[in-house]
Structure 1
Amino acid sequence: MPSTRIETRQGWLGARRGEFIEAVQQALVAGIRIPDRDRCVRLAEYDAEAMIVPPHVGPHYTIVEISLFTGRSIEAKRRLYAELVAAVAPFGLAPHDLKVILHEVPRENWGLKGLPGSEIELGFKVDV
């Protein structure tokens, strides 16, 4: 049940914001093998002056932060990183313009339906 936040500069996605969010969702499905119905992806856009970025990146620099349950293998993480790069490429985002940060959270530290995530049947495997 990842919770994903996309941060980028305002304006460059234009009317394609929904498509971009969906592309990130599909990368999550392919990368860490979550079901497509497991959706929690948000997009935050900032004025150019509200972000300072490394000098070697372009104007579309994007950060994707994903909070997810602990347990994914390094292979699953590699797959996710590659899927994300491929998913955002059609939007003109170069691999060096994408930063991905994973925040791994123990299931007992994630509340769902008033219960710890460790006490809920997810319907999919986390240890992929």
Structure 2
Amino acid sequence: MSNVIHSCVMDALGIPKDKRAHRFIALAKEDFMMPEGRTEAYTSIEISMIEGRTSETKKKLIRLLFDRIQEQVGISHMDLEICIYESPACNWGFRGMHGDEIQLNYEINV
């Protein structure tokens, strides 16, 4: 799953191959409520990123995730839910710096 997700963010957002930060949280069946009509494969993906991508770019990412996860992992579109959370660069901190002060090796405004 991680490889498929990362291929999508590389292709849609231009994220470099070595920029991967994924976290997977497995829940016990009784702790994961889901809409009716979903299977045990039901998966929720939340993506946090610095704001700046266009609606078209975010839609491309979501479409790639739906299609590649179905093709390569076998989770149907119906069992997949995706949400992108964005916040301004000044709300981010990484590598000891504020997100709006750091020089990234990829573009945010795509």
Fold equivalence (TM over 0.5): yes
| Correspondence 1:65-76 to 2 at 5 A | 65-76=46-57
**Could you state the TM-score of these two structures normalised by the residue count of structure 1?**
0.81
Alignment partner, residue 80 of structure 1: 61
Structure 1 runs not aligned, ≥5 long: 1-19
Structure 2 runs not aligned, ≥5 long: none
**Counterpart amino acid of residue 95 in structure 1:** H
Deviations 1:63-118 (A, max 9, x none): 11011000010110111011101221122211111111111011111001221111
Alignment partner, residue 32 of structure 2: 51
**Could you state the TM-score of these two structures normalised by the residue count of structure 2?**
0.93
**Alpha-carbon separation, structure 2, partners of 1:112 and 1:100:** 24
Identical residues among aligned pairs (%): 28
The count of residues paired between Structure 1 and Structure 2 equals 109
Q: CA RMSD in A?
A: 1.0
SS at match of 2:36: coil
Alignment partner, residue 106 of structure 1: 88
**Where does structure 1 differ by over 6 angstroms across 4 or more consecutive aligned residues?**
none
